[in-house]
Amino acid sequence: MNRLAGLLVLAFATAVVAAFLFAWQSLTHAPQAGDGSFATDRAYATLQNLLAEQVPHPTGSPANHRVRDRILAQLRDAGYEPEVQAAFQCAPPEKAVGCTQVENIIAVLKGTGEGRAILATAHYDSVPAGPGVGDDGVGVVVMLELARTLKAMPPARNDVIFLITDGEETGLRGAVAFARNHSLMKQVGIVVNVEARGNTGPAIMFETGSGNSRLISLFADAVGSQVSNSLAYEIYRLLPNDTDFTIYKSAGLNGFNFAMIGAAARYHTPKDNLALLDRNTLRHHGEQVTALVRALQGRDLETLRSQEDASYFDLFGNGLVHWPASLNVPLALAALVLLAGLAVTGRTTLPMAGAIWSMASLLVLPFVMFAIGWILSYPLGIWPEVHVLDHQAPWPARVALLGATFAVATVTARLLAPRAEPQAVSLVYWLFLALLAVASAAALPGAAYAFLWPVVIFALVAGLGQFVAPASAMRWAAFAGFVAIAMFWTGHMLALDAVVGFPLSQFKLLALFPLALAMVPLLLMAAPLRTTALAVPVVLTLATAALAAAMPGYTPDNPRPLNIVYHQDADTGDARWLVQETPVDRAFMQRAGFGPAPESIDLAGLVPTQAFTRKAKTARLEAPRLELASRQQSGNKVSLSGRIRSVRAGFVFGLIIPPGSGITAVTLEGQPLVSSDRLKAGRPLWARIFGTADKPLSITIEHEANARGRIALFERSALPDTPEASELLALRPDNASPVHSGDGAFVFRTLDLKTLTPAGQAAPQP
């Protein structure tokens, strides 16, 4: 029987992990059935109406105006009197550089009380590369269906402000315009925002604000099928990502931010379309937001304020466990003290040599797992050149990482078996996990639960076992602790796909380090370990890694990013084709005549960058114009005033200010465009202007008289309608797609501000 013990433990561990992976499918798939509170079919029909053409509708485009008018019609049909807030909004100059002409849509459902209002919001603009069905068409129709549903119900206590913003994709500027300039902002007490980074998966409530304990309690009570945890909130706070919710948080508001994140390869591409949208995702978003807003309608929003944060996690999408984050440190310390007490009282069975070997393995294991993960990153993500976040068939790679975790644990147990007793290893390993629980509870309270509860469970079982069955107490504690670790960290393995892909498998495997630690004591207690026990996870890892490497990295429905850009100097007519996306489709590059390696070029003549290039036939496209009205000099300061405009009504145009330009201030339509600190930062500044078509804009530029004074005017618009462009588009494979700003013509001209005259013509260069 002892010969089979190792295999039996491996079988047990595999079964536990498989069960939790199956249960955690709630992280990757929206529930198949709903509670009937959301009219999914009607919402989908509304989405079909709003985005009937399924074309991109970036801010300021004719397509965006059509979507705007259809949203307004839907709100009027539901009994509202919506307004359009039109604003030319520049970002806070200390945070970003650029401006957008936005048209926000606002409707108000009056309540019976006099308290603060609920702001229910999403955005309706898309990027130039895709129709934006998931991002954020789903959010828009959830708001419209919510508005229709609440209008048909008896009035509740609180007003609901429905805000469908414009210009989110260009820098959150619709939200900025509302927060800064609209009188309704003063009435807002709480925010519910819906976003997306893909078009499948559950509605994840991934962000709140500080002092959220009462909000989380309400969310747990009012909403079913929750997918949320405080670790996601902690991680998101560390990432450089923003949504409209960021603007409201910075204004001192709290609330809830929802998003779907499945199929990230479709995000900001033409594949974010109706055909590939998961209707269960639409329904889940609708049910979550409807239940939450209805609960908020009846509450005094002031009573939801708190100084306390919550720690929380969902149970496989079937309920939310939550508690005050202030309990994390005391609980972690109590578990640490209990384990330390067990170590002291069990001193006669914990030889020093065994403890030293256990601690040495703790120091080595993270580096070993990182190294193995780096090796696995090649067959799992680098050789197949998979998407940075979204593998179109992730399960072989996931199983390979789990197999590697089991293999590392098995080898470690085999090396420790003749040198350390199982009880010594268990206590040393779990004391280490308890220290991690204390550290995370103190530094990142929202992330503590994944260490905290396994440690508490292990300590309780081990401690109580000393009174019930001392001989087997540590064994039962090891099993219980492993189950608890597996519950949390298999879920984290799945959730980690949202921020780290298989090309960085070293970090994904390192995140499974707690699972490996919890497994080693189990295997030691099943000694003697035979070669067969080691062979099983090794063979599993190699086989599934080979399978992952054999799978295509991209498919037509999960495409590779590939933008084709026409780059032209409007002064000289010099033109090139550029491709900058990675990983590179080398077969396309060869067919299309690009070089075998990226070249160093000066984008817009001023900004050094790397790109695959080839010569292009010039299409003689015009660049934006800066027409000077006045030039004034006082000492070493020169002030230029005039008007700037696009001549081709592109998606975006603007200025590029290189380092050392001597420019000290830029004002556009009376708003500061860039802060003085950014102008001194020593790197090129892109001042992007969106949504203005060919409308002239007033501009003032101040610069030092003895400085270089060079800038570039640029515009990004549709590709030129030429045979050469059509040929390149035809060569793009069906598993590649434009992304974000998409294909386009980038046209520029450079200006010397020192010689620019009010007539609008630059003097000849010396």
Q: Does domain 37-316 have CATH number 2.40.50.100?
A: no
Closest to 286 (Cα-Cα) out of 338, 345, 332, 224 = 224
In this predicted structure, the answer to whether residue 453 has a pLDDT above a threshold of 70 is: yes
Q: Determine contact, residues 283/30, Cβ cutoff 8 Å.
A: yes
| pLDDT given for residue 1 in this prediction | 42
In this predicted structure, the answer to whether residue 2 has a pLDDT above a threshold of 70 is: no
| pLDDT given for residue 350 in this prediction | 57
457: number of Cβ within 10 Å: 19
pLDDT tens string 322-335 = 999 999 999 999 99
In this predicted structure, the answer to whether residue 765 has a pLDDT above a threshold of 50 is: no
| pLDDT given for residue 303 in this prediction | 95
pLDDT tens string 71-88 = 999 999 999 999 999 999
Exposed/middle/buried for 240, CB within 10 Å: 0-12, 13-18, 19+? Answer: exposed
266: number of Cβ within 10 Å: 28
In this predicted structure, the answer to whether residue 46 has a pLDDT above a threshold of 90 is: yes
pLDDT over 70 percentage in the chain? 97
Read off the DSSP letter of residue 756. Answer: B
Where in the chain is CATH 3.40.630.10? 37-316
pLDDT grade, residue 760 (50/70/90)?
A: very low
Average pLDDT over residues 510-533: 86
Helix (H, G, I), strand (E, B) or coil at 725: helix
Closest to 403 (Cα-Cα) out of 8, 10, 7 = 10
For 63, residues 6+ apart whose C-beta sits below 8 A from its C-beta are: 53, 55, 56, 57
| pLDDT given for residue 526 in this prediction | 75
Buried b (16+ CB within 10 A) or exposed e, 582-620: ebbbeebbeebebeeebeebebbbbbeeebbbeebebbe
Tokens 């006099």, located at residue:
114
Tokens 């078996």, located at residue:
417
Closest to 747 (Cα-Cα) out of 621, 600, 655, 563 = 621
In this predicted structure, the answer to whether residue 689 has a pLDDT above a threshold of 70 is: yes
pLDDT tens string 93-150 = 667 789 999 999 999 999 999 899 999 999 999 999 999 999 999 999 999 999 999 9
Tell which wins on pLDDT, 539 or 534.
Answer: 539
Q: Determine contact, residues 455/434, Cβ cutoff 8 Å.
A: yes
Closest to 695 (Cα-Cα) out of 647, 652, 662 = 647
In this predicted structure, the answer to whether residue 348 has a pLDDT above a threshold of 50 is: no
| pLDDT given for residue 423 in this prediction | 84
pLDDT tens string 254-281 = 999 999 999 999 999 999 999 999 999 9
Q: Determine contact, residues 497/387, Cβ cutoff 8 Å.
A: no
| pLDDT given for residue 83 in this prediction | 98
Please, what is the Cα angle at 551 between 545 and 557, to 5 degrees? Answer: 135
622: number of Cβ within 10 Å: 13
User: What distance in Å separates the CA atoms of residue 452 and residue 604, rounded to the nearest whole number?
Assistant: 53
For 144, residues 6+ apart whose C-beta sits below 8 A from its C-beta are: 43, 46, 71, 74, 75, 78
Q: Determine contact, residues 687/674, Cβ cutoff 8 Å.
A: yes
Task: List phi, psi (to 5°) of 205.
Answer: -85, 95
pLDDT grade, residue 763 (50/70/90)?
A: very low
Please, what is the Cα angle at 37 between 35 and 38, to 5 degrees? Answer: 110
| pLDDT given for residue 762 in this prediction | 47
DSSP β-bridge partners for residue 748: 569, 714
Dihedral, CA atoms, 723, 726, 727, 729, nearest 10 degrees? 160
Task: Tell me how far CA of residue 3 lies from CA of 305, 331, 496, 529, in angstroms.
Answer: 60, 40, 37, 7
In this predicted structure, the answer to whether residue 343 has a pLDDT above a threshold of 90 is: no
Q: Determine contact, residues 763/757, Cβ cutoff 8 Å.
A: yes
241: number of Cβ within 10 Å: 12
Question: Which element (helix H / strand E) includes 470?
Answer: none
Closest to 163 (Cα-Cα) out of 46, 251, 75 = 75
Read off the DSSP letter of residue 380. Answer: I
Closest to 753 (Cα-Cα) out of 766, 744, 739, 763 = 763
User: What distance in Å separates the CA atoms of residue 421 and residue 433, rounded to the nearest whole number?
Assistant: 19
Closest to 99 (Cα-Cα) out of 712, 684, 671, 698 = 671
The model's pTM? 0.94
Provide Rg for the chain, Cα atoms. 29
224: number of Cβ within 10 Å: 16
User: What distance in Å separates the CA atoms of residue 27 and residue 399, rounded to the nearest whole number?
Assistant: 17
Tell which wins on pLDDT, 466 or 21.
Answer: 21
| pLDDT given for residue 581 in this prediction | 85
In this predicted structure, the answer to whether residue 352 has a pLDDT above a threshold of 90 is: no
| pLDDT given for residue 676 in this prediction | 80
* Cα 330 from chain centre: 32
Cite the DSSP H helix spans in 614-745. 676-679, 723-731
User: What distance in Å separates the CA atoms of residue 705 and residue 641, rounded to the nearest whole number?
Assistant: 15
| pLDDT given for residue 759 in this prediction | 57
| pLDDT given for residue 764 in this prediction | 37
pLDDT grade, residue 766 (50/70/90)?
A: very low
In this predicted structure, the answer to whether residue 414 has a pLDDT above a threshold of 70 is: yes
User: What distance in Å separates the CA atoms of residue 174 and residue 164, rounded to the nearest whole number?
Assistant: 9
The sign of the dihedral angle between the CA atoms of 615, 618, 621, 625 is positive
Closest to 141 (Cα-Cα) out of 93, 74, 213 = 74
Read off the DSSP letter of residue 91. Answer: P
103: number of Cβ within 10 Å: 22
Cite the DSSP H helix spans in 320-388. 328-345, 352-377
Q: Determine contact, residues 710/751, Cβ cutoff 8 Å.
A: yes
| pLDDT given for residue 91 in this prediction | 83
Q: Determine contact, residues 64/84, Cβ cutoff 8 Å.
A: no
| pLDDT given for residue 420 in this prediction | 81
User: What distance in Å separates the CA atoms of residue 345 and residue 351, rounded to the nearest whole number?
Assistant: 13
Q: Determine contact, residues 484/490, Cβ cutoff 8 Å.
A: no
CB hemisphere CA count around 355 (13 angstroms)? 14
Residue 682 corresponds to which amino acid? G
Q: Determine contact, residues 111/297, Cβ cutoff 8 Å.
A: yes
In this predicted structure, the answer to whether residue 240 has a pLDDT above a threshold of 80 is: no
